[in-house]
Amino acid sequence: MPTHTRLLIIGSGPAAHSAAIYASRADLHPLLYEGLLANGVAAGGQLTTTTDVENYLGFPAGISGPELMERSRAQSERFGTRIISETIERVDLSNRPFKAWPEDADEPVTADAVIIATGASARRLGLKGEEQYWQNGVSACAVCDGAVPIFRGKPLVVVGGGDSAAEEAMFLAKYGSSVTVLVRRGALRASKTMARRLVGNEKVAVRYHAVATEVVGEEGPRGLMTGLRVRDVRSGAEEVLQASGLFYAVGHEPATGMFRGGVEMDEEGYIVTRPGTSYTSVEGVFAAGDVQDKRYRQAATSVGEFFLLVERLCCTPASFPSPPQDHLRASTNTNIHSPRHRLYRSSRSREIPRRAGRQRRCKRHRRGEPGQETSAERGRARVSEQSFVVIWI
């Protein structure tokens, strides 16, 4: 088992493998702990519980969630990512190098930088029949599954009363024949604007003081959901609604328990990142994907966030120990346009001169008037003031 790594990635979903692929190609030699049934989900994250993924670029016929994650894992390994199928149990982010303890390990793995990609899981209600019809009628993501053929032109049900429930109900109204929203209380928790839109949608009906108790449907391993048993919380009366789909909109739980006290989090347990970046409150610790995204929660956004994150890692000297000095250049004599070098801007620099070795002179300073600085001299001064990192490839 490795004892030290420059970059430790904790997670196994699209965000983690995207980070691993880009980090490996940047010669950061990442070590990825994918976990063994971490948070009750197999390695690969929430996508492993999805049967068909039809809205991911590059798969016109769709692809199953488990197969997509198997391919992602293989791609990470192809570029040199070391993957360990153990679960990180606790971490210490108070000092560098950071420490992480796998389950049943006495000694920690140390790292110069850590990427947190542990994701989040949708809250379930634990209804009778829920497990049997999960992804065969029961889902926790309307955007992911709402356009699937089994839901088109069929009656659908959404559980929840907040903005998320309202958004999902209106999204599903585009595909289903009707949408029923079950609200436990006597009023919606959604904002006034969202509530007004929801109630005004002719394909949506809101039922207050109502809770779901059981999912019913066809027998067999591939049987589909056909109805939902609903109870009135005031009278106790029950009835079975005809429904081909049940969508939960009761929130998500980020897998951030072991990071509490180590990085800043909001009241819901999501890691707080600097706006527009993946930087956490601890220098050298980064987070992206569902672990800090409570809005989109899509594979595509997780992949994009970690592409930007790894690019920033490559460009920020503070994230890692300095590379060998013969790989570091910051002078006008360096051929920064050589195919064997890649020039990046550090976090302290605002712009990169288009050409460091050749600075054009304006007409006024072409001959260099006495006592005045030439354009070329100013160009060299700008280069010397900036910080460049040239990564050897």
CATH number of 138-248: 3.50.50.60
CB 244 within 8 A of CB 224: yes
The phi and psi torsions of 174 (rounded to 5 degrees) equal: -70, -25
pLDDT averaged over 10-residue windows placed end to end, the chain, 393 residues: 87 89 91 76 66 75 85 93 92 94 91 91 87 90 84 95 88 94 92 91 96 94 93 95 93 86 89 86 89 59 53 51 39 38 40 44 46 48 38 33
Distance CA 243, CA 283 (A): 49
Structure tokens at 199: 């109630």
Structure tokens at 251: 């929130």
- Distance linking the first and last C-alpha atoms of the chain: 28
CB 167 within 8 A of CB 193: no
Q: What is the pLDDT of residue 183?
A: 95
Distance CA 149, CA 153 (A): 9
Q: What is the pLDDT of residue 42?
A: 64
| Arch. (CATH architecture) of 4-121+252-319 | 3-Layer(bba) Sandwich (3.50)
> Which residue ranges does the chain devote to CATH 3.50.50.60?
4-121+252-319, 138-248
Q: Active-site residue numbers? A: 141, 144-145
**Which pairing describes strands 225-232 and 210-217: parallel, antiparallel, or unpaired?**
antiparallel
Q: Which helix (H) or strand (E) holds 69?
A: helix 65-78
